[in-house]
Amino acid sequence: MDQTQQDQFADLPDSLRCTLQDGIAVLRLSRPDKRNALDDLTVRALGRFFDAPPAGTQAIVLHGEGEHFSAGLDLGSLTERDTEAGIFHSRAWHKAFERIEFGDVPVIAVLHGAVVGGGLELAASAHIRVAEATAFYALPEGSRGIYVGGGASVRLSRLIGVARMMDMMLTGRTYGAAEGVALGFSQYVVGHGEGLARGIALARRAAENAPLTNFAILQALPRIAQADPAAGLLMESLMAAIAQGSDEAKSRLRAFLEKRAEKVAHFP
């Protein structure tokens, strides 16, 4: 890494590490001795990072150091917090994770080992999740006497359904990577140790899209999906027209018609 890049990451605490190569930023949760538990410093720094990724970043891959992606909220900090502080704490997580979900670039989370509580909430705010075979999902909030506060009620319930999330919280039910991919926890499942390479490959692929298309996918699609259908369809038409009218779309469509672009291919 050259000095310019080093300076770009000077803002990160010890619990986060970043490298940037060819437009792909790889951000690592780096507190393996505490199983990448998320303390206030780390959550705030995640918000800052995703709000303003290093110059030139086209996609971000988020992963965890050690045996686990993340053990969720740093439980050590919880005992001192009263109700009022609890509200602001949860809102700080919301703010930070919104910057992931509604940031400017695609975010791919690579999951392994424990993906629990706030760690699962963090993963759910990414756009694509790649799970290694060791990944498992849990919401231990129920047994700790607390409630999710990092957006799971909205984002995780959307991925796996309210009934499944209720079951996880009421009974402590957990899911592994293989069933997780079928149920919507992740879009991909890969072998042990293969997640980062797959995450980077997916990030590179997403970064090749036209910027306006990625804007539509990241900013418009999730909002359209939650809008009332009539407003959603109107928004879709507007977004489609805006994207089609761009020079980039015109040149990509011309390339296809002149047989210079790749065909769609399926590799089972």
Binding site residues, ligand 1HE, CB under 6 A:
34-35, 37, 67-68, 71-76, 90, 93, 114, 116-118, 140-141, 144, 146, 148-150
Strands 107-111 and 59-64: parallel
Residue whose CB is less far from ligand 1HE, 116 or 131: 116
Residue whose CB is less far from ligand 1HE, 53 or 151: 151
* Closest among 47, 77, 174, 61 to 116, alpha carbons compared: 174
Residue whose CB is less far from ligand 1HE, 73 or 107: 73
Contact by Cβ (8 Å): 226, 101: no
Q: How far is the CB of 178 from ligand 1HE (least distance, A)?
A: 19
Given 141, 194, 208, 258, which residue is catalytic?
141
* Closest among 125, 111, 121, 115 to 190, alpha carbons compared: 111
Q: How far is the CB of 180 from ligand 1HE (least distance, A)?
A: 16
Q: How far is the CB of 9 from ligand 1HE (least distance, A)?
A: 25
Residue whose CB is less far from ligand 1HE, 148 or 218: 148
Is residue 258 annotated as a catalytic residue, yes or no?
A: no
Residue whose CB is less far from ligand 1HE, 106 or 113: 113
* Residue with the CB atom nearest ligand 1HE in the bound state: 117
Q: How far is the CB of 95 from ligand 1HE (least distance, A)?
A: 12
Helix (H, G, I), strand (E, B) or coil at 20: strand
Contact by Cβ (8 Å): 164, 183: yes
Backbone torsion region of residue 29, taken as left when φ is above 0, otherwise alpha when ψ lies between -120 and 50, otherwise beta: beta
Given 121, 194, 248, 258, which residue is catalytic?
121
Q: Give backbone dihedrals phi and psi of 43, rounded to 5 degrees, phi first.
A: -65, -45
Q: What angle do CA 264, 214, 181 make, to 5 degrees?
A: 70
Q: Measured between alpha carbons, how far is 3 from 246 in angstroms, rounded to an integer?
A: 36
Residue whose CB is less far from ligand 1HE, 118 or 199: 118
E strand or H helix that includes residue 227? none
Q: How far is the CB of 93 from ligand 1HE (least distance, A)?
A: 5
Q: How far is the CB of 15 from ligand 1HE (least distance, A)?
A: 12
Is residue 179 annotated as a catalytic residue, yes or no?
A: no
C-alpha dist (Å) from residue 126 to 152, 243, 264: 12, 23, 26
Instruction: Enter the tokens of residue 175.
Output: 């899911």
Residues annotated as catalytic (active site), given as ranges: 121, 141
